Amino acid sequence: MTNLSLFGHELVVDNFAGGGGASEGIEQALGRPVDLAINHDATAIAVHTANHPGAEHSVADVWDIDPEQAVHGMPVGLAWFSPDCRHHSKAKGGRPVSKSVRGLAWVAARWAAKVKPRVIALENVEEFLDWGPLIKGADGKARPDPARKGETFRGFVRALRRHGYEVDWRILRACDYGAPTIRQRLILGARRDGLPLHWPAPTHGDPASLAVRRGKLLPWESAASCIDWSIPCPSIFDRARPLADATLRRIARGVMRFVVEAEDPFIAPITQAARPAGAHLVAAFLAKHYTGVIGADLRQPLPTITATDHNALVAVSLVNLKGSDRGGRDPRQPMPTVCAGDTHVGAVAAFLVKYYGRGIGQPCSDPLHTTPTRDRFGLVTVTLSGEQYAIVDIGMRMLQPHELSAGQGFPDGYQFAEAGGRAVPKYQQVRLIGNSVCPPLARAYVEANFTHERRFMPAPAGRAVA
């Protein structure tokens, strides 16, 4: 194990290392690589190795690792744990859960007992606080016992305290520490060196807050900062495989909320190549293809990224209804000349919203859909800066892995697409990103607790450790 003999220092161990989100944040905070990264998933370890070649890697179940053998008798300064959160998360709903998956966090107590890391950090969903025994339902399947909510969590904390640890926890949001996502996670900290646990102060905040306006905090990073605007958004109207009705209804509601009815729609910097002919200032928002969720303004941080991602970009193409200048225009250029009268309005291809049945709308170029006995059609237009626009197209595409990676807070150049000389399938990239720790969150916690002992080392090639 090269690192264990190269640096004569306390070790840093990343259990459940995944694609390397926690390791990246730790490395940025300490200015040095983690020493040992453990994960049972060979693809995850391959990605971790590609980005953190200075670490020793172990493809193994965390329960198959003997902590004493793994560290070769050397002291451990920090042990980070991010056990599988799926069977604690509210996203699981009322579905059955696995006792073994929910119990993965006990591996932290095992490390505490065997090698006594000076500092332990455990990251999970906030529902981890409710960790308790399971009870079998009428269907014979196990689900959390509501009468014993939090019982196992309290036992876990007592176990750490018996091993001499001071234990505390906080729920932190990644956007408060520079990541462009609202992802919220529980961080449990434990240390046994007599020093107090420290919690990082937020560095970013709501742009409308007094702290940001007075310059005490930086504004949250926006979802828009993660979007690759050079990628076209295919029209939702002429797809070879039509979108599901539920998806179309969600898009329609988002268009109404974030474009038509919005006082100040977000105008995207769409390149001319990605814009439909005749469209000007593309208005965009983020659709969340998840039950009951419509979407988000792109000026806000990205919604939580999941292992099976639901985030999609919706781009609403607009055309000016006034004047003769209706050709394509870069949205960064001035608005078209405002004239007193309407000209050529009939030539504008808007679309109609259909307020009945399961329909969403239709292009004006198509024959009018069946007309019911009551008014159920509406021409959708948008007013921006006093000028009226018509919607000529709506595009939608899922976010790509490199956009999700940026949204999670990974630095430019972090590699998910290729590992070990092989391409990583898109679904695996999304899974690794969705399951990862937001690096800025890990960095903030480690800096708060290790600032006084930071060791500066050269950054890995291609990435700066600041």
Question: How open is the CA angle 284-248-89, to the nearest 5 degrees?
Answer: 85
Q: What angle do CA 256, 262, 263 make, to 5 degrees?
A: 155
d(CA 9, CA 134): 42
* Coil, strand or helix at 2: helix
Q: What's the rounded Cα separation, in Å, for the pair 95 and 122?
A: 25
Q: Which of 85, 175, 233, 438 is catalytic?
A: 85
Is residue 93 within 8 A of residue 27, CB to CB? The reply is no
Q: Is 85 a catalytic residue?
A: yes
d(Cα 341, Cα 387) in Å, to the nearest integer? 12
Burial letters 246-276, b for 16+ CB under 10 A, else e: ebbebbbebbeebbbebeebbbbebeeebbb
Residue matched to tokens 């974030």: 258
Q: Tell which residue, 155, 157, 81, 165, has the closest CA to residue 116.
A: 165
- Quick one: which of 348, 350, 338, 327 has its CA closest to 384? 338
Half-sphere exposure of 298 (CA within 13 A, CB side): 25
Inter-helix orientation angle 426-434/42-51, to 10°: 80
Decide: helix, strand or coil at residue 359. coil
Q: Which of 95, 185, 127 is nearest to 435 (CA)?
A: 185
Which residues have a catalytic role annotated?
Answer: 85
